[in-house]
Homo-oligomer: A and B are copies of this chain.
């Protein structure tokens, strides 16, 4: 894939505008440093594994806030957008419905006053994940019982 260079490097990027957007960012190394983070949609496809269709759809439904555009209207994703996508991907792995993720995104956009709501939402999600893990362990033991049956009886 030809990684297009985004030569439109904004010279004056003010440092760290909204810490509320990505709270407690994970230890991720970004492909490019702040100031040069103007990724095309195909670059983001390469980084995240999501399709371009899905990325545009996320934006349309409000799961991502408005993405910067080049002077010709093409999307230019930032490092923060990448962080957000990482987080969203994690949430998706938990089985959280997209509508709930949108709800969370809205809370983020509303600012710091929604910290308690966000925490509650994440804690509920956490509980769901924990019980999901328990379910899977349970399933695992059923599978193991059957597999050991087939191992001894089936060969």
Contacts and interface: CB of A to CB of B under 8 A. Distances in A.
Given A115-B154, A119-B151, A133-B137, A142 B3 contact: no
A10 interface: no
A115 B19 CA distance: 56
Contacts of A54: none
A24 B145 CA distance: 7
Given A93-B139, A142-B26, A126 B147 contact: yes
Contacts of A26: 142, 145
Interface in A10-69: 19, 23-24, 26
Contact of A3 (B91, B118, B145): B145
Interface string A73-102: 000000000000001001101100000000
Main secondary structure of the interface of A (DSSP, over half): helix
* Interface range, A side: 35 or more
Given A151-B119, A154-B115, A154-B118, A126 B145 contact: no
A139 B94 contact: yes
B150 A122 contact: yes
Interface string A109-142: 0001001101100110110011011011111101
Q: Which 8 A-B pairs have the closest CB atoms?
A: A115-B154, A24-B149, A119-B150, A90-B139, A23-B149, A126-B143, A90-B142, A24-B145
